[in-house]
């Protein structure tokens, strides 16, 4: 009975893997549980980290089945940016909430519908009872619940408050790898899993989501030292 309440029962649950063995193997469920709440926040209040967290979340939604309900508090979503990580704007249903209470109500209604692939909400604060309600409503379905936790103005940690979320992520931008010619490579993110139910926290450097919503591991930079060596020998000759 208790295992059914806290979500640790032996029933096989639907999971959305990232498709990266090095990442999925670190997750207790081998991926993100679809019948659960997950929280994502930028590593810092910087706009670049906020954008990284948003596109990481968009990549997850892109790989889910069906329509996506995205509940916002401010109109700053950039549809072409979401399309670049695989989330077709035609799949997204936008809703604007006046406050966090209305946002919570819309998210709960979306999760109960059972006809959506993902329900996303953007908040700065959400108390433990509210996150518990979202988790309970998501249980038993295949609609993933995603919360984008934005930084408050006073600089408090958006993941500092207790939460019933099954996983809680911080996403930060990392330096991109230079290409052999002039320019920069694919953007990189530092994924930090701050908490997961049934597993340990970890950090992993990945390349940002591509047009299919998938991250990748950084390619080995073996060719760069070799190219530098050849250039040095050519200059000496």
Query: H/E/C letters for each residue in 177-217?
Result: CECCCCCECCCEEEEEEEEECCCCCEEEEEECCCCCCCCEC
Three-class secondary structure of residue 22 per DSSP:
helix
In angstroms, the CA 176 to CA 184 distance is: 6
pLDDT score recorded for residue 184: 60
**Residue 225 pLDDT exceeds 50:** no
Name residue, tokens 């050519």: 234
- Helices 100-113 & 128-138, crossing angle to 10 degrees? 10
For the stretch 99-114, pLDDT in tens is 999 999 999 999 999 9
Question: What pTM, to 2 d.p., does this model score?
Answer: 0.85
Q: Alpha helix locations (H) across the chain?
A: 2-6, 21-24, 47-62, 79-84, 100-113, 128-138, 223-236
Three-class secondary structure of residue 90 per DSSP:
helix
Count of alpha carbons within 13 angstroms of residue 236, beta-carbon side: 6
Q: What are phi and psi of 150, to 5 degrees?
A: -85, 155
pLDDT score recorded for residue 88: 95
In this structure, are residues 53 and 187 in contact, taking their beta carbons and an 8 Å threshold? no
In this structure, are residues 82 and 57 in contact, taking their beta carbons and an 8 Å threshold? no
- Kindly state the helix (H) or strand (E) to which residue 123 belongs, with its residue range: strand 118-123
**Residue 224 pLDDT exceeds 50:** no
For the stretch 26-40, pLDDT in tens is 999 999 999 999 999
Q: CA 207 → CA 163, 172, 177, distances in Å?
A: 28, 11, 10
Mean pLDDT across the stretch 65-92? 92
pLDDT score recorded for residue 180: 53
In angstroms, the CA 118 to CA 120 distance is: 6
């Amino acid at each position: 009975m208790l295992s059914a309440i806290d979500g640790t029962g032996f029933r096989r649950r639907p999971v959305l893997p990232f498709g990266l063995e090095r990442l999925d193997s670190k997750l207790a469920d081998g991926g993100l549980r679809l019948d659960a709440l997950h929280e994502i926040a930028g590593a810092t209040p910087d706009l670049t980290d906020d954008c990284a967290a948003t596109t990481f979340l968009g990549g997850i939604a892109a790989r889910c089945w069906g329509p996506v309900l995205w509940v916002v508090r401010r109109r700053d979503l950039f549809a072409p940016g979401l399309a670049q990580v695989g989330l077709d704007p035609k799949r997204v249903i936008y809703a604007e909430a006046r406050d966090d209470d209305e946002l919570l109500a819309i998210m709960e209604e979306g999760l109960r519908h059972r006809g959506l692939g993902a329900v996303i909400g953007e908040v700065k604060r959400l108390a433990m009872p509210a996150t518990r309600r979202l988790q309970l409503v998501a249980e038993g379905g295949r609609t993933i619940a995603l919360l984008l936790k934005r930084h408050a103005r006073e600089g408090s940690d958006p993941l500092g408050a207790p939460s019933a979320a099954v996983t809680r992520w911080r996403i930060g931008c990392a330096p991109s790898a230079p290409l052999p010619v002039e320019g920069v490579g694919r953007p990189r993110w530092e994924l930090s899993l701050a908490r997961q139910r049934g597993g340990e926290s970890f950090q992993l450097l990945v390349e940002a989501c591509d047009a299919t919503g998938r991250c990748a591991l950084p390619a080995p930079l073996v060719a760069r030292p070799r190219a530098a060596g050849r250039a040095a020998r050519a200059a000496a000759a």
